[in-house]
Amino acid sequence: MWNIFQQNDKGYEIISSAKDDEYVHQPESSLFDFERAEDDPHLAEIEAKKEKNRASRNTIGIVIALCAGLLYGLQSVVVKQATLEGISITECLLTRSVFQLGVMPLVSLCSMNFFVPKHHHRNVFFICTCYTFASTSVFGAFSLILPDAAVAGRSASRTIISVILTVVTLREAVTALQLCALSIAVLGMVLMGISTTQLNDFYVSNSWRIVGGFFLCFLGGLFRSIGFTRYRQIKEEVSAEAIVFWHALQSCCLNIPVTLIFQNYSIPSIKFLHERCSMI
Confidence category of residue 93, pLDDT binned at 50, 70, 90: confident
Distances (CA, A) of 227 to 51, 90, 178, 191, 253: 29, 21, 18, 28, 19
**Most confidently modeled range among 79-88, 122-131, 153-162, 266-275:** 122-131
Read out DSSP for 143-171? HHS-HHHHHHHHHHHHHHHHHHHHHHTS-
Least confident piece of the model among 68-77, 108-117, 148-157, 200-209: 200-209
pLDDT confidence of residue 29:
46
Residue pair 26/16 in contact by the 8 Å Cβ criterion: yes
Q: What is the residue extent of each domain of the chain?
A: 2-35, 77-279
pLDDT confidence of residue 20:
47
pLDDT confidence of residue 25:
47
pLDDT 10s digits, 209-235? 778 888 988 999 999 999 999 998 898
Distances (CA, A) of 96 to 105, 114, 139, 145, 196: 15, 19, 11, 20, 27
What pTM, to 2 d.p., does this model score? 0.66
pLDDT confidence of residue 5:
53
What phi, psi does 134 have (nearest 5°)? -65, -45
Least confident piece of the model among 153-167, 231-245, 264-278: 264-278
Q: Which long-range contacts (CB under 8 A, 24 or more apart) does 153-156 make?
A: 153/189, 153/192, 153/193, 153/213, 153/214, 153/217, 153/218, 153/221, 154/217, 154/220, 154/221, 154/224, 155/69, 155/185, 155/188, 155/189, 155/221, 156/185, 156/186, 156/188, 156/189, 156/217, 156/221
Per-residue burial over 58-70, b = 16 or more CB atoms within 10 Å of its CB, e = otherwise: eeeeeeeeeeeee
In the chain, the amino acid numbered 129 is T
What phi, psi does 264 have (nearest 5°)? -80, 130
Tell me what percent of the residues of the chain surpass a pLDDT of 70: 65
Residue 278 has pLDDT above 60, yes or no: no
Residue pair 26/5 in contact by the 8 Å Cβ criterion: no
> Residues with Cβ < 8 Å from 229, sequence gap 6 or more?
162, 165, 166, 169, 170
Distances (CA, A) of 274 to 142, 224, 268, 278: 20, 31, 10, 6
